[in-house]
Structure 1
Amino acid sequence: MIDTQTLLASLPTDLWIGCKQIPATGGSTFSVHNPADGKVLVDVADARPEDGRIALDAAAAAQPDWAATSARERSDILRRAWELINQRRNEFALLMTLEMGKPLAESHGEVTYGGEFLRWFSEEAVRINGRYTQSPTGNGRILVTKEPVGPTLAITPWNFPLAMGTRKIAPALAAGCTMVVKPAAETPLTMLLLAEIFRDAGLPDGVLSVLPTSDSAALTTPMFDDSRLRKVTFTGSTGVGKVLLKQAADRVLRTSMELGGNAPFVVFD
């Protein structure tokens, strides 16, 4: 049986940039609470705009080499990450229950669900094909190739802290893109542990950064204006999605949006 305090003490709690922990600019932190009792689990680094630039520096520097990495090697890293998550599934499940509040059985289900994105895209990484066809005029040939978009920003929600990370990170890595992840302030711990898993799986420095923050807009807005950022993927509310799409429009950033909302419900005795 996993001891809660031992697990919490073993977690990375600083920003994750360049496959290592670094403090936030100014050393600021914020608390992550257990929603079951309101108690503080741990304090984590609170990323500032300067930290976003540092993470993009790392992503941009790593992008050429990662894009040039063979599809088979990228596939193997994703496969190893899937295997490591399965080996540590009890830790991931307990951690999600502690910071997000879902029942432990549901957390175990998310470990399986979230891990499958890694296995699936490990298999897709070696099947990124182009197209070679005759031109419509009949006097030439059209060759279509697929290239990595480049550094990508992922913004993930609180309700599936593992699966919403793996479903964004896995296809980006499979395609040869570097990535900066901004997890929800309520549930950053699972994402930080996932970053550690990727390091152990052999992911090169700078390919994946994780930036917890208590002020998402302050962190991400300058990143939208940075010419090195090439794509944004977001899961969350329609209201926030509209704001991000407006910011992305200025540089015609590629976007992937999964937008939802809040629905009323009635709880009976």
Structure 2
Amino acid sequence: MFSHLPVSGILKLPCRMSSSLASALPASLLRSAAYIGGSWVRSSDSATFPVVDPATGAELVQVTDCGPKECRETVKAAAGAFQVWKEVPSKERSNLLRKWYDLMIQNKEDLARIITAENGKPTKEALGEIIYAAGFLEWFSEEARRIYGDVVSVPMKDRRALVLKQPVGVATVITPWNFPSAMITRKVGAALAAGCTVIVKPAEDTPLSALALAELAHQAGIPAGVYNVVPCSREKAPAVGEVLCTDPSVAKISFTGSTATGKILLRHAADSVKRVSMELGGHAPFIVFDSANVDKAVAGALASKFRNSGQTCVCTNRFLVQKGIHDVFVKKLAALIEKDLHVGNGFEEGVTQGPLINERAVEKVEHHVRDAVSQGARVETGGKRSTYGKNFYEPTLLSNVTTKMLCSREETFGPLAPVIKFDTEEEAMAIANSANVGLAGYFYSQDPAQIWRVAERLEVGMVGVNEGLLSSVECPFGGVKQSGLGREGSKYGIDEYLEVKYVCFGGL
């Protein structure tokens, strides 16, 4: 079935790995086998796929390429473990999650280096992700002990009504490459706290973070089969996703990724009516009204747009700036981009903009810039590939942008900031709400009445008012329209992994 490896064994890196990368990556946490039922295993056909450093193109390591057979066996392992894990007292689940959190904090620098190597984001930003990711384990370790039911008053004297909350069962967790640790802990922390077991299918670009977390989960004492990781190549992903989303033993699917893929998984889930939560595409507007503090708006714009080189689902994708302050906003944002943003390898000192994840991502940014310029947009700064390397693109600011341009209608997912000038609040709201997705939205205003109006009228799941960064473990994360279903993080996140059971006691 599988080729088993000792859980404590350290898998050696390929000799073709560059010496600089070898010194950067921690051997104690680097794993290349799947983690199934508490063991490190190879696939039955010993197939592997390469994980590549997006900054250099160098191969980091060959990782086990799981297929449908391995996934079916993993579902069996998770289903078996669920029968035990759901009976574990909430305090014990809480303690285990806390131990996992502690280990993440103790190993935060090593975990950050893994993210920088496989994802490309600068070391400081990668370390910020690890702190954020660990926070979900801490938060849900506390929420595990707060899964409360209810006693309901009924009109019949001889009856009592109770409401219980119970774990849904085995959960399939499919995560993206842009936050390879945080997107796992945000889902898995809630699932394990609720009493569910999980199977993580990480993105093919960034499986090393998921496997490093598996090593720390093992060290923390998370029981075998409770947390499983099945990496696979892009070629096998459709077949693997189908198994993980259609197997009768899987009760829940949690997915973060594109809206197109989310719709496919929803169809897979429909036949067996599985519980589903999804965080899908975004197209975030960033509105700057004439009343705004321009300097604060410019600083917020830089933080919102260029984190992870523009590769986050809540990154601003469209800047809408009112005509009274449009010119000064564009001028100040261009100056700040040129002053504060530095392109390079994420391991280098002072770098703020790492590579895009792959060549396809760069080509999409190029296509959007080309389309906009051909229709009259003006490049204020940037506008081309960086000379640093093929996966690098200069932080780019466009003005004179219209709603007909691709960058106004599609999510770019790269370091491109297009600015649209508007006249009235009504016009801005119409543009902002014209998208069929609604994840995050931002606006800057110092008019109290306008703040209330716009915050309520924006058709998004999360609103930043005079703030460009809004993610927090304590607050609900999710969108409306075609940006997804359900919420993650916060006290609401654990409900996605719980069933509500009504119990009626009669004859009293």
Band the TM-score falls in, shorter-chain normalisation? over 0.9
Amino acid at match of 2:129: E
Q: Which residue number corresponds to residue 267 of structure 2?
A: 246
Pick the aligned partner of 1:27 from 41, 46, 49.
46
Q: Take 1:48 and 1:222, find their aligned partners in 2: how far apart are those partners?
A: 9
- SS of aligned partner of 1:233: strand
Q: Counterparts in 2 of 1:79-118, with a 5 A limit?
A: 79-118=98-137
Q: Take 2:156 and 2:21, find their aligned partners in 1: how far apart are those partners?
A: 67
Give yes or no for the alignment of 1:182 onto 2:223.
no
Pick the aligned partner of 2:244 from 223, 226, 238.
223
Residues 118-153 of structure 1: per-residue CA shift (max 9 Å, x gap): 000000001111000112x45543200011100010
Give yes or no for the alignment of 1:237 onto 2:249.
no
Cα pair 2:34 2:42 within 8 Å, conserved: yes
Q: Take 1:213 and 1:80, find their aligned partners in 2: how far apart are those partners?
A: 28
Following TM superposition, by how much is the alpha carbon of 1:9 offset from its aligned partner in structure 2, in angstroms? 4.2
Q: Take 1:83 and 1:101, find their aligned partners in 2: how far apart are those partners?
A: 25
Residues 202-238 of structure 1: per-residue CA shift (max 9 Å, x gap): 0011111101101211112123332111000000000
Cα pair 1:129 1:146 within 8 Å, conserved: yes
Residues 89-142 of structure 1: per-residue CA shift (max 9 Å, x gap): 01011110010011111001101110000000000001111000112x455432
Pick the aligned partner of 2:142 from 123, 127, 144.
123
Q: Take 2:33 and 2:54, find their aligned partners in 1: how far apart are those partners?
A: 22
Give yes or no for the alignment of 1:66 onto 2:79.
no
Residues 38-73 of structure 1: per-residue CA shift (max 9 Å, x gap): 110001000010000111111011111100001011
Q: Which residue number corresponds to residue 40 of structure 1?
A: 59
Q: Take 1:224 and 1:37, find their aligned partners in 2: how far apart are those partners?
A: 35
- SS of aligned partner of 2:51: strand
- SS of aligned partner of 1:153: strand
Q: Take 1:232 and 1:134, find their aligned partners in 2: how far apart are those partners?
A: 34
- SS of aligned partner of 2:257: strand
Cα pair 2:86 2:167 within 8 Å, conserved: yes
Cα pair 2:26 2:110 within 8 Å, conserved: no
Give yes or no for the alignment of 1:5 onto 2:22.
yes
Following TM superposition, by how much is the alpha carbon of 1:251 offset from its aligned partner in structure 2, in angstroms? 0.6
Q: Among the aligned pairs, what percent are the same residue?
A: 45
Report which of the two structures shows the higher radius of gyration computed on alpha carbons.
Answer: 2
Amino acid at match of 1:49: P
Q: Take 1:91 and 1:14, find their aligned partners in 2: how far apart are those partners?
A: 19
Give yes or no for the alignment of 1:51 onto 2:47.
no
Cα pair 1:8 1:41 within 8 Å, conserved: no
Q: Take 2:245 and 2:124, find their aligned partners in 1: how far apart are those partners?
A: 38
- SS of aligned partner of 2:165: coil
Cα pair 1:19 1:196 within 8 Å, conserved: no
- SS of aligned partner of 1:25: coil
- SS of aligned partner of 2:242: helix
- SS of aligned partner of 1:147: strand
- SS of aligned partner of 1:41: strand
Residues 4-36 of structure 1: per-residue CA shift (max 9 Å, x gap): 425354411111012221001200000000000
Q: Take 1:218 and 1:51, find their aligned partners in 2: how far apart are those partners?
A: 11
- SS of aligned partner of 1:146: strand
Q: Which residue number corresponds to residue 36 of structure 2?
A: 17
Following TM superposition, by how much is the alpha carbon of 1:244 offset from its aligned partner in structure 2, in angstroms? 0.6
Provide the aligned C-alpha RMSD in A: 1.6
Amino acid at match of 1:108: L
Higher helix share: 1
Q: Take 1:4 and 1:37, find their aligned partners in 2: how far apart are those partners?
A: 10
Cα pair 1:8 1:42 within 8 Å, conserved: no
Q: Which residue number corresponds to residue 276 of structure 2?
A: 255
Q: Which residue number corresponds to residue 198 of structure 1?
A: 217
Cα pair 1:14 1:22 within 8 Å, conserved: yes
Amino acid at match of 2:92: E
Report 1 or 2 for greater relative contact order, CA contacts < 8 Å, sequence distance ≥ 6: 1
